[in-house]
Amino acid sequence: MKKTIFSTILIAIFFGLAACGGGEETAETADTTEAEVVDDGVRTIEIIGTDDMKYVVAEAADGLVTGGQAGQNMLLQSIEAAPGEEIRIQLTTVSNLPATAMSHNFALVAMGTDLDAFTRAALTARDNDYISPDFEDQVIAATAMAGNGETVTITFTVPETPGEYDFVCTFPGHFAGGMVGKLIVQ
């Protein structure tokens, strides 16, 4: 704790000197930036889960295939990735409902997985973040569940085999509601 305060003071002094008078403001800005940016070079895809049971993104980006407008955001249809690429999914739920009524996850499954069966089995797996143990060997990567205001993250290696892999939210009813998309490996 003491060390942190000391470092902060040092940073403040440093930026104070660098900015020649506009010191305090600059130091605050620098501190905030330092806390928020975790740039480890891994491609990070920020997704929002909505009360409409959709995956949406705030802005278009290379490698993201989007559909129509969803409020201020765009529907996310597919993610394009290279074989063996490391990517990070960062899913944030924005909701007016309690977590027990509206939560989302991101579960990427092996090619050929029966999504109907997978999400049906999830219904009785609430204690396991709605991932049925019967299907765990078909799950390539899955986040925990996120309720309103929560962000869950998963970093994984994209499969080496080119093709289309489904990702889906396993919260009850959300697959039927359209909370599903594809990871296109090419």
Q: By rule CB under 5 A, what string of x and - marks binding of each residue 72-91 to Cu ion?
A: --------------------
| Nearer to Cu ion (CB atom), residue 162 or residue 173 | 173
Q: What is the DSSP string of 129-186?
A: TT--GGGGGGEEEE---B-BT-EEEEEEEPPSS-EEEEEE--STTTTTTT-EEEEEE-
By CB under 5 A, name the one of 169, 180, 183, 185 that touches Cu ion.
169
Determine how many CB atoms are found less than 10 A away from the CB of residue 55: 26
Q: Of 69-77, 79-87, 103-111, 147-155, which part binds Cu ion (CB under 5 A)?
A: 103-111
Q: Give the integer Cα–Cα distance in Å for 160 and 91.
A: 24
Compare residues 57 and 179 and give the one whose CB is closer to Cu ion.
179
Residues in region 15-74 near Cu ion by CB under 5 A? none
Measured distance CA(65)–CA(183) in Å, rounded: 10
Q: Which is nearer to Cu ion, 26 or 119 (CB)?
A: 119
Distance, in Å, from the CA atom of 138 to the CA atom of 111, rounded to the nearest integer, reads: 9
63 vs 68: CA distance, rounded Å? 16
Q: How many residues bind Cu ion (CB under 5 A)?
A: 5
Closer by beta carbon to Cu ion, 167 or else 171: 171
174 binding Cu ion? (CB under 5 A): yes
By CB under 5 A, name the one of 131, 171, 180, 182 that touches Cu ion: 171
CA 175 to chain centre: 17
Q: Is 104 in the site for Cu ion (CB under 5 A)?
A: yes
Out of 56, 81, 152, 179, the residue judged to bind Cu ion by CB under 5 A: 179
d(CA 33, CA 165): 35
Binding residues for Cu ion (CB under 5 A): 104, 169, 171, 174, 179
